[in-house]
Amino acid sequence: MPDARQREDDAPGRPGIEPRWTSSAKTGVGTAAGQASQVWFTVSHGILDEIYWPEVDRASTRDMGFIVTDGKDFFSEEKRHTKHTVEYLAEGVPAFRLTNECEQGRYKIEKEIITDPRLDVLLLRTRFTATTSDELYLYVLLAPHLDDGGAHNYAWIEKFWGEDFLLAKRNGNALALGCSAPFLKCSAGYVGVSDGWQDLNRHKRMEWSYPRARDGNVALTAQIDLSKCGGEFVLALGFDSSPIGAAHHVRASLLDGFDSARDEYVRDWQEWQKSLQPAPQEKSESALDYYRISTAVLHTHQAKKFPGGIVASLSIPWGFAKGDKDRGGYHLVWVRDLAQVTGGLLAAGAGLSAARVLRFLAVTQEADGSWPQNMWVTGAEYWTGKQMDEAAFPILLTATALREKLIGKAELERLWPMVRKALCFILQRGPSTKQDRWEEVGGYSPYTIAVEIAALLEAAEFTPEPELADCLRETADAWNENIEGWTYATGTELAKKCGVDGYYVRIAPVTDDGSSPVEGKIEMKNVSERTLVPTASIVSIDALALVRFGLRAAGDPRIVNTVRVIDSLLKIDTPHGPCWRRYNHDGYGEHADGSPFDGTGIGRPWPLLTGERAHYELAAGRADEARRLMKTMEAFTSDGGMIPEQIWDAPDIAERGLYFGRPSGSGMPLVWAHAEYLKLARSIRDGKVFDLPPAAAQRYLSGTNAQQ
């Protein structure tokens, strides 16, 4: 292999343009159902986007797609110049058939995508068809971003066993791309200067054949020999710690054959789906089975070397505008998301996965009883902040697992030290201190307080320490009695405008002078002005957590008032149904012109919140409305059934791919949203909210019109 010194035949233009990630608007995500293969893939705009290896939180590529030319004046990029369709190879199986048809009617590309269940290899079976009499040429372009970074990659061409391989390495990670058909020409280059896209766009054929591109933002290109394969071939992308090891995996997978790998891949996924509860509602009128898609999305996002670690999304929101400084993206573990996703797994009957999450939480808990705000699947923290609800959710998960009979006495004894430390963390830093935090600010949050109180009461039911049980219940009662004093604003201009006497605010500061928290101000760090905003002017749909966690009845006048204010400020009616923003003054979303979030922006509606509103409607006894809102969630999905983090809520901006009521450039799929969909399906079937903590409901809602 070439040494590290510059050579005359190296590609020019080192290090290339500044690396960027790619679109977060995924139409599909997938991995093998078993543990042997450590490769995950994502699909968007008809091509492969980020491919993850050796774990679910480590991206190894930016994208891989095809370019078609005629050698003279025709240049067509698959992801930009074709009409895309996506299909599942089998129901409930995250394996895809992509069909890309040239906008000029000159060719069609059909692809089937899986990972080899036994090897660290992604397989792409392709059929290329020229639909006119013109002679066309086909090229594959691959952008390595090994070890979660686009800079400092090393790409080159080398023969192993008499065959050409496209190779790349970085930080002890390597990939190799091989093909069942011969490569006619190969080249390595620097992105934006000497890569294959630049060559083909300029010359309409491969004029450059650079053997290597060192230490930069690199890309690899190869021309497929269509005459030797009749347009049908398999590309195999393998990974290993060494280049020859990656090439070995590629050759072995190609030798075994695509059909064998596909059959095993599909069979393993179908066996996993059979272990779950059947879909609890009638199938959608759509050709897509959103229930099985959602269960597959949850399982796909689980770590394999570190069981129980589930990342928030295999995407990087607005990735096309972000580079190596944003290496975390959403492929990190947030304990809040992890808990919600585990609830979705429990609702679907995936008990083994839920048990693994509890073990993962026990392993990654800090000495003080907390967890990092987010972390890699190893447990290493990414952001340094801590949030109080993320200490309470593992307690609620333990209680749910007990109720569902997924853990017994012996397992509870092993988990109790984790639960006890988390309880101590909450008791020492609960809502009476400035350390209680929700999102970007600290203070009294109805959402966080609801989670904390529910966790204390649930733990009191199974603690082996009677005195601790008494302390937990007394503390919960004291906090519950103060919720309105801390977070309910009355007599404000907003209340008068909405025709109510008051409402719950999003968050209120802890005061030292005895004044009312809701009369204070909160610094909004996401808005561009970064100014102090009156507490009483900020309202969030999070207040419905008081119902979701059993502290207030759905028909409580204060809740009903708050819902009225929420709808006046945050509700967006789309052609598909209503959706809600998180809170007013939210700055997390695209700018008004559709440009990507860059630290400031305008918060957009979240389909997840449509699911949460549906749960509120069910708690209020309006099951038909809950069903309608579940259908609305389905309508917000991508063509492959992926639920986005946010949807666009303004007039269409076609050049940016933004359409009213359709996915924005935020994260997709948002795994929490798929979990909410699964819980909603279970809740509608059961006729009650699946994850309502019974201890809180029995203590505070007895005799009300809340569900029993």
Residue-wise pLDDT tens digits, 205-224: 999 999 999 999 999 999 99
pLDDT score of 5? 56
pLDDT score of 522? 66
pLDDT score of 441? 57
pLDDT at 118 exceeding the cut of 50: yes
pLDDT score of 406? 84
pLDDT at 511 exceeding the cut of 70: yes
pLDDT at 553 exceeding the cut of 90: yes
pLDDT at 439 exceeding the cut of 80: no
Nearest-angstrom CA–CA distance, 469 and 453: 13
Work out the pLDDT band at 518, boundaries 50, 70, 90: confident
> Which domains are delineated in the chain?
28-273 (2.70.98.10), 332-700 (1.50.10.10)
pLDDT at 513 exceeding the cut of 80: no
Work out the pLDDT band at 279, boundaries 50, 70, 90: confident
Report, as an integer, the average pLDDT of 90-118. Answer: 97
pLDDT score of 535? 84
Summarised one tens digit per residue, pLDDT across range 365-395 is 999 999 999 999 999 999 888 889 999 999 9
Work out the pLDDT band at 228, boundaries 50, 70, 90: very high
Nearest-angstrom CA–CA distance, 672 and 401: 18
- Locate all alpha helices (DSSP H) within 593-639, ordered by sequence: 607-619, 623-635
Work out the pLDDT band at 707, boundaries 50, 70, 90: very low
Work out the pLDDT band at 7, boundaries 50, 70, 90: confident
639 SS3 class: coil
pLDDT at 527 exceeding the cut of 50: no
Share of the chain above pLDDT 70, in %: 94
pLDDT at 85 exceeding the cut of 70: yes
pLDDT score of 284? 63
Residues 6+ apart with CB under 8 A from 578: 571, 572, 610, 613, 629, 632
Nearest-angstrom CA–CA distance, 440 and 526: 8
414 SS3 class: helix
pLDDT score of 509? 84
Report, as an integer, the average pLDDT of 33-40. Answer: 96
Q: Is the dihedral of CA 92, 98, 103, 106 positive or negative?
A: negative
pLDDT at 682 exceeding the cut of 70: yes
CA 550 to chain centre: 28
Residue of 557 and 278 predicted with greater confidence: 557
Poorest-pLDDT segment among 49-53, 137-141, 309-313, 702-706: 702-706
Nearest-angstrom CA–CA distance, 442 and 462: 30
pTM of the model: 0.95
User: 121-130 and 107-115: which strand pairing?
Assistant: antiparallel
**CB-count exposure of residue 182 (10 Å: 0-12, 13-18, 19+):** middle
Across 548-683, the runs of DSSP E, i.e. the strands, are: 571-574, 577-580
The top-scoring range by mean pLDDT among 249-263, 438-452, 691-705 is 249-263
Q: Which residues of 479-516 are buried (b: 16+ CB within 10 A; e: fewer)?
A: bbeebbebbbbeebebbeebebebbbbbbbbbbeeeee
pLDDT at 453 exceeding the cut of 70: yes
pLDDT score of 554? 97
Report, as an integer, the average pLDDT of 633-647. Answer: 96
419 SS3 class: helix
Report, as an integer, the average pLDDT of 517-526. Answer: 67
Q: What angle do CA 295, 707, 564 make, to 5 degrees?
A: 85
pLDDT at 433 exceeding the cut of 70: no
Q: Is the dihedral of CA 702, 678, 420, 432 positive or negative?
A: negative
316 SS3 class: coil
Share of the chain above pLDDT 90, in %: 85
pLDDT score of 412? 92
Report, as an integer, the average pLDDT of 507-525. Answer: 72
pLDDT score of 327? 83
